[in-house]
Amino acid sequence: MRKQYPSDITQAQFAKIHPMLEAARKKTKPRLIDLHEVFCAVLSDFPKWRTAHSYFQRWSEKRENGLSILEEVLKKIVSELRVKSGRKEQTSLCIVDSQSVKNTDTAKEKWDDGGKKISGIKRHIAVDSQGLPHAIHITTADQTD
Protein backbone atom coordinates (compact mmCIF):
# COMPACT_ATOMS: atom_id res chain seq x y z
CA MET A 1 0.00 0.00 0.00
CA ARG A 2 1.34 3.41 -0.92
CA LYS A 3 1.23 6.63 1.08
CA GLN A 4 -1.88 8.76 0.52
CA TYR A 5 -1.40 12.26 -0.98
CA PRO A 6 -3.67 15.31 -1.37
CA SER A 7 -3.37 14.87 -5.17
CA ASP A 8 -5.00 11.40 -5.02
CA ILE A 9 -8.40 11.17 -6.66
CA THR A 10 -11.34 9.43 -5.03
CA GLN A 11 -12.72 6.07 -6.17
CA ALA A 12 -15.84 7.88 -7.45
CA GLN A 13 -13.71 10.26 -9.55
CA PHE A 14 -11.61 7.34 -10.79
CA ALA A 15 -14.73 5.39 -11.84
CA LYS A 16 -15.39 8.05 -14.52
CA ILE A 17 -12.00 7.53 -16.21
CA HIS A 18 -11.41 3.85 -15.41
CA PRO A 19 -12.82 2.54 -18.73
CA MET A 20 -10.51 4.87 -20.68
CA LEU A 21 -7.44 3.65 -18.79
CA GLU A 22 -8.52 0.02 -18.99
CA ALA A 23 -8.72 0.31 -22.81
CA ALA A 24 -4.95 0.84 -23.04
CA ARG A 25 -4.27 -2.88 -22.67
CA LYS A 26 -5.75 -5.97 -24.25
CA LYS A 27 -7.28 -8.26 -21.65
CA THR A 28 -5.25 -11.44 -21.90
CA LYS A 29 -5.01 -12.30 -18.21
CA PRO A 30 -6.42 -10.96 -14.94
CA ARG A 31 -4.93 -7.65 -13.79
CA LEU A 32 -2.75 -7.97 -10.70
CA ILE A 33 -2.42 -4.23 -10.12
CA ASP A 34 -5.02 -1.75 -8.87
CA LEU A 35 -5.26 0.92 -11.62
CA HIS A 36 -6.50 3.50 -9.09
CA GLU A 37 -3.25 3.06 -7.14
CA VAL A 38 -1.18 3.32 -10.33
CA PHE A 39 -3.03 6.44 -11.54
CA CYS A 40 -2.57 8.16 -8.17
CA ALA A 41 1.11 7.13 -8.23
CA VAL A 42 1.54 8.77 -11.64
CA LEU A 43 0.01 11.95 -10.18
CA SER A 44 2.30 12.12 -7.17
CA ASP A 45 4.45 9.27 -5.90
CA PHE A 46 6.22 6.39 -7.60
CA PRO A 47 6.44 3.51 -5.12
CA LYS A 48 7.33 0.95 -7.81
CA TRP A 49 8.66 3.24 -10.50
CA ARG A 50 8.89 0.59 -13.23
CA THR A 51 5.19 -0.24 -12.92
CA ALA A 52 4.04 3.39 -12.75
CA HIS A 53 6.38 4.34 -15.62
CA SER A 54 5.21 1.52 -17.88
CA TYR A 55 1.58 2.57 -17.40
CA PHE A 56 2.51 6.23 -17.91
CA GLN A 57 4.21 5.32 -21.20
CA ARG A 58 1.23 3.26 -22.34
CA TRP A 59 -1.26 5.99 -21.39
CA SER A 60 0.93 8.64 -23.11
CA GLU A 61 1.00 6.94 -26.53
CA LYS A 62 -0.90 8.76 -29.28
CA ARG A 63 -3.92 6.86 -30.57
CA GLU A 64 -5.84 6.94 -33.87
CA ASN A 65 -7.54 10.22 -32.92
CA GLY A 66 -4.16 11.89 -32.30
CA LEU A 67 -4.65 12.08 -28.53
CA SER A 68 -3.18 9.97 -25.76
CA ILE A 69 -5.37 8.44 -23.06
CA LEU A 70 -3.96 10.95 -20.55
CA GLU A 71 -4.96 13.81 -22.87
CA GLU A 72 -8.46 12.36 -23.19
CA VAL A 73 -8.71 12.03 -19.39
CA LEU A 74 -7.59 15.66 -18.96
CA LYS A 75 -10.17 16.86 -21.49
CA LYS A 76 -12.94 14.84 -19.82
CA ILE A 77 -12.14 16.14 -16.32
CA VAL A 78 -11.75 19.76 -17.48
CA SER A 79 -15.01 19.72 -19.48
CA GLU A 80 -16.90 18.24 -16.49
CA LEU A 81 -15.50 20.93 -14.18
CA ARG A 82 -16.44 23.66 -16.66
CA VAL A 83 -20.03 22.40 -17.00
CA LYS A 84 -20.31 22.00 -13.21
CA SER A 85 -19.32 25.66 -12.75
CA GLY A 86 -21.96 26.83 -15.25
CA ARG A 87 -19.65 27.31 -18.25
CA LYS A 88 -19.67 25.82 -21.73
CA GLU A 89 -17.91 22.46 -22.10
CA GLN A 90 -15.46 23.90 -24.65
CA THR A 91 -13.43 27.00 -23.80
CA SER A 92 -13.23 29.89 -26.23
CA LEU A 93 -10.05 31.37 -24.77
CA CYS A 94 -6.77 29.92 -23.54
CA ILE A 95 -3.78 31.68 -22.08
CA VAL A 96 -0.34 30.22 -22.86
CA ASP A 97 2.72 30.70 -20.68
CA SER A 98 6.00 28.90 -20.22
CA GLN A 99 8.70 28.34 -17.66
CA SER A 100 12.34 27.51 -18.29
CA VAL A 101 13.70 24.80 -16.03
CA LYS A 102 17.28 23.69 -15.48
CA ASN A 103 17.98 20.01 -16.01
CA THR A 104 21.00 17.82 -15.57
CA ASP A 105 24.20 18.00 -17.57
CA THR A 106 23.58 14.47 -18.83
CA ALA A 107 20.13 15.23 -20.30
CA LYS A 108 19.92 14.40 -24.00
CA GLU A 109 17.68 17.25 -25.10
CA LYS A 110 18.34 20.71 -23.72
CA TRP A 111 19.19 24.15 -25.06
CA ASP A 112 19.93 27.56 -23.64
CA ASP A 113 17.13 30.03 -23.05
CA GLY A 114 19.18 33.05 -24.04
CA GLY A 115 17.05 35.63 -22.24
CA LYS A 116 17.07 33.79 -18.94
CA LYS A 117 20.51 32.16 -19.25
CA ILE A 118 19.07 28.75 -18.36
CA SER A 119 20.27 25.55 -19.97
CA GLY A 120 17.49 22.99 -19.92
CA ILE A 121 13.89 22.50 -20.92
CA LYS A 122 10.78 24.65 -21.12
CA ARG A 123 7.30 23.75 -19.85
CA HIS A 124 4.46 25.31 -21.85
CA ILE A 125 0.92 25.28 -20.47
CA ALA A 126 -2.40 26.58 -21.83
CA VAL A 127 -5.11 27.36 -19.26
CA ASP A 128 -8.63 28.77 -19.51
CA SER A 129 -10.06 31.71 -17.55
CA GLN A 130 -10.67 29.41 -14.56
CA GLY A 131 -7.05 28.25 -14.53
CA LEU A 132 -7.96 24.75 -15.75
CA PRO A 133 -5.22 23.19 -17.91
CA HIS A 134 -6.07 22.46 -21.55
CA ALA A 135 -2.64 21.64 -22.97
CA ILE A 136 0.81 20.91 -21.59
CA HIS A 137 3.91 20.62 -23.75
CA ILE A 138 7.63 20.18 -22.96
CA THR A 139 10.31 21.50 -25.32
CA THR A 140 13.96 22.47 -25.23
CA ALA A 141 14.56 25.84 -23.53
CA ASP A 142 15.28 27.69 -26.79
CA GLN A 143 11.64 27.34 -28.00
CA THR A 144 9.21 30.25 -27.66
CA ASP A 145 5.54 30.11 -26.63
Domain coverage including residue 22: 11-84
Our count of domains for the chain comes to 2
Per residue in 90-117, pLDDT (tens digit) is 888 899 988 887 775 555 555 555 565 6
Q: Are residues 48 and 100 in the same domain?
A: no
Please check whether residue 89 lies inside any domain of the structure.
Answer: no
β-pairing verdict for 133-140 and 118-127: antiparallel
Q: 13-27, 29-43, 87-101, 110-124 — which is least confidently predicted?
A: 110-124
Alpha-carbon dihedral 15, 20, 26, 28, rounded to 10 degrees: 0
pLDDT at 115: 62
Q: Containing H/E element for 113?
A: strand 111-113
Mean pLDDT of the chain: 80
Q: Are 123 and 77 in contact, with CB atoms under 8 Å apart?
A: no
Q: How many CB atoms lie within 10 A of CB 108?
A: 5
Residue 6 lies in a domain: no
Neighbours of 26 (CB within 10 A): 6
For residues 69 and 127, state if they share a domain: no
